Structure 1
Amino acid sequence: MLNIADTLYRWCREARPFALATVVDVSGSAPLPPGTALAVAADGEAAGSISGGCVEGAVYDLCRQVLDSGEPPVRASFGYSDDDAFAVGLTCGGELEVLVQRIDPADQAHLTSALDAATGGRPVAVAHVVYGPVHLLGRTLSVLGDGNAYDGTLGSEEGDRTVAAQARALLRAGRTARVEIGGDADTCPEKLSLLVHAQAPPPRMLIFGAVDFAAALSQAGHFLGYHVTVCDARPVFATPARFPHAHEVVVAWPHDYLAAAEVDSRTVVCVLTHDAKFDIPLLRLALDLPVGYIGAMGSRRTHEHRQELLLEAGVTDLQLARLHSPIGLDLGAHTPEETAVAITAEIIAHTRRGTGLPLSRVTGPIHRRVRVTPPPAVRAAA
């Protein structure tokens, strides 16, 4: 639902009831992920999309029906029909399941605060019951920021605390995911499946080396939604004027900056200096940090020499296996702009576990679901 937080927040502030259709499960080549939503207000105004156009009309009608009748939340499945390709369904070949519910802002007042945070770009997670008893279906609980507080209730204090802990863990990881709780006396007597919608601060792209390639890469990273930092020890080159698309430009020795930087599993580190006095201490540190991607620019000869120096500096073979060098996919890139595309393509393929091959040469669904192991706090609470 956070994909349309601005509209939902406006409707909540205006105390306008609305119907919310949320994608709760997808398979095959369904175009949009779980958590994506479409909403319809009483006057017919609609916001969002759940299928890129394939089943919007049918879901819109179902929203109007649920909104007008006041009936309990309903689930509906949509898929492709070989018998009638023009019938309501996903012509892309996938299947999706949608939960449609009526929301009266007065009944779930905490949603207004959660949507306000999402609209303002602040961290927020909303846990949404998508499977369970009818009287709990559609209920929400929200977690704002990094604190321990939560708002809303799913019916039991112990269950609320369990869900809030899982929502906080997913918020830290920046993931929207399904969690299961309940079915036992220690958490919640009723088994529930919840979709946790998480909006975390944007992931970080740390670019080391104030070169022309960094200018193009900072623009590409900004476009992809990263918070981009360019760092170089040379003040004459590390200037905001040279990197207008970076969120910050830092003059510091790269390894000193990285040692003090806040990083997580979504952080990408791109080393474009290809100068051993910068590269070796920087990469030695980066390869010991829990970041998501580490790439280094340079020729194959530079790469081989860099590997030798890193091994001499105490880096293990297992750590070296994390290093993407020479950086980027083989796209035949020459210009800084083309190289930036090659680098970000590799980052996307690595993050999403793609093959990097042309889609015409691979089989299976185009929109594959990446199954991510939940953070330790989630596994412990489940």
Structure 2
Amino acid sequence: MLDIAEELDRWVEQGRDFAVATVVAVGGSAPRRPGAALAVDADGTAIGSVSGGCVEGAVYELCRQALEDGESVLERFGYSDDDAFAVGLTCGGIIDILVTPVRVGDRVRPVIAAGLKAAASGGATALARIVTGPADLVGRALIVRPHGSDDSGSCKSASYDSGFHGGGSYDSGYYEGGFGAHPELDRTVAAEAGAFLDAGRTGTLEIGEQGSRCGAPLTVLVESSVPPPRMIVFGAIDFASALVRVGKFLNYRVTVCDARPVFATEARFPEADEIVVEWPHRYLERTEVDARTVLCVLTHDAKFDVPLLRLALRLPVAYVGAMGSRRTHLDRNARLREVGVTELELARLRSPIGLDLGARTPEETALSIAAEIVADRRGGTGVPLTGAHTAIHHDATSLPTGRIGSVA
């Protein structure tokens, strides 16, 4: 649902009733990931997608029905061997979809509205909803935010109908809303959802109705919305300009850093979110990075590369790649060893940067680098899918029969 937060936030502001269908779990070659959503308002307007077209019509009708009867429903769609054109996924996958009405006066609306508002404004937030369990709990929600995500740093509770808790705190942040069941359930789910949020994950968890971590009478979907990950491009060269454009296309927040002010200019990099004129290693020492950050070193100049990579390879970032010929790579590795970089640290370095696409132009090279970043992030092999027997989608687990699975 949070993938269409901006549009849904506008619907809330306009006072519209709507129902939202959210992918809970996937199996096989399903086209959309958990968290993908389709929403339908009372006038029949639809936004978003849950399957890329395979089951949209059936899900649309489920949303219309939920708007009428006010009931949440969990529905499974899968491939039909008898009729590939029937309602189902002709790609051979399985998806479980939770349909939730969000009408004015519904007890879940203030919680979902707060989550949509936070996500639409770019803040970090996680929305947890009960998917399976007692009928009166299915669709109930709470949201989790880190401490310091509002002006006061404390819990801001909305007004909820009877049966909802105003909110509370957990170890790493605070939550709003609640399930109206055992109080410990709220705290336990909030803590688990906080861990999902820290990792930027969307998926499911199973938990006891009273918050116990053993047994599995409840399944909870946790959707995380976090600010875009960072891509830092070192070296203001023509290849960097192409990489900035590709990085923005992949929804990275892109910074270009170069010590040479004549090259690091807005005119040369109009699509960059930030341009920094500073020695690369000094900038990396002071800027904030995390486990989703990718570092692309395009300078291929030892005086920049060696101090920069010595630091970069010791940071908990997602990807470190460096441009250069194979000869440059060997020379650079020797220089890095001389300044104390270990073999284990060197093993993290993607150099020469990018996948073997036969790239020559800056745009082709940027595509090669981006392809390696995506493959590294998703666990792909980088080999052609034609003739391969590997899974097309690498970040979803199979669904066991009769129950919801989880996804990283």
Deviation at 1:184, TM superposition (A): 6.0
Aligned-residue offset at 1:187 = 6.6
Question: Counterpart of 1:149?
Answer: 174
Aligned residue pairs, count: 370
Other-structure match for 1:180? 206
Match of 2:201, SS? coil
Partner of 2:159: none
Paired position in structure 2 for 1:356: 382
Residue number in structure 1 paired with 2:257: 231
8 Å CA contact 1:133, 1:190 repeated in 2: no
Confirm whether residue 339 of structure 1 aligns to residue 338 of structure 2: no
Is structure 2 residue 99 aligned with structure 1 residue 100?
yes
Residues in 1 aligned to 2:27 and 2:76: alpha-carbon distance in whole angstroms: 11
CA distance in structure 1 between the aligned counterparts of 2:297 and 2:94, rounded to whole angstroms: 41
Matches within 5 A, 1:108-119: 108=108, 109-119=110-120
Deviations 1:261-300, CA, capped at 9 Å, x for gaps:
1111100000111111111111111111100000000000
Does the 8 A contact of 2:379 with 2:395 survive in 1? no
Q: What is the SS of the residue equivalent to 2:395? A: coil
Distance between the aligned counterparts of 1:20 and 1:222, measured in 2? 28
Task: Report Cα offsets for 1:107-139 as digits up to 9, x if no partner.
Answer: 121322221222222222111111222221111
Letter of the 2:134 counterpart:
P
RMSD: 1.9
Contact 2:293 2:317 in 1 (8 A): yes
Task: Determine which structure has the larger helix proportion and give its number.
Answer: 1
Deviations 1:79-122 (A, max 9, x none): 11122111111111111111122223431213222212222222
Contact 2:184 2:210 survives alignment (8 Å) = no
Does the 8 Å CA contact 2:23/2:97 hold for their aligned counterparts? yes
Structure 2: how far apart are the matches of 1:235 and 1:140?
A: 50
Counterpart check, 1:77 vs 2:103: no
How has the CA–CA distance of structure 1 residues 98 and 119 changed in structure 2, closer, same or farther, with 3 Å as cutoff?
same
Deviation at 1:220, TM superposition (A): 0.9
SS state of the match for residue 360, structure 1? Answer: coil
Listed as ranges, the matches of 1:1-382 within 5 Å are 1-70=1-70, 72-106=71-105, 107-108=107-108, 109-147=110-148, 148-155=173-180, 156-182=182-208, 191-370=217-396
Letter of the 1:120 counterpart: S
Aligned-partner residue type, residue 261 of structure 1: T
SS in 2 for 1:149: strand
Deviation at 1:304, TM superposition (A): 0.7
The alignment-based identity, stated in percent, is 60
Instruction: Check whether the contact 2:28–2:93 (CA below 8 A) recurs between aligned residues.
Output: yes
Contact 1:159–1:187 (8 Å) recurs in 2: no
Cα deviation code 1:196-247 (max 9, x no counterpart): 1111111000111111111111111111110111111111211121111111
- 5+ residue gaps, structure 1: 372-382
Deviation at 1:345, TM superposition (A): 0.6
Structure 1 stretch displaced more, 312-321 or 266-275: 312-321
The alpha-carbon deviation at position 186 of structure 1 amounts to 5.4
Deviates more, 1:18-27 or 1:295-304: 18-27
CA separation of 1:364/1:267 partners in 2, compared to 1, >3 Å: closer, same or farther?
same
Partner SS for 2:59: helix
> Whole-Å Cα distance in 1 between the matches of residues 391 and 235 of structure 2?
38
- Conserved? CA contact 1:213–1:339, under 8 Å: yes
Q: TM-score, normalised by structure 2?
A: 0.86
Which secondary structure does the structure 2 equivalent of 1:237 belong to? coil
Distance 1:370 1:64 in 2: 29
Shift of residue 183, structure 1, vs aligned partner:
5.5
CA contact (8 A) 2:145 2:175 kept: yes
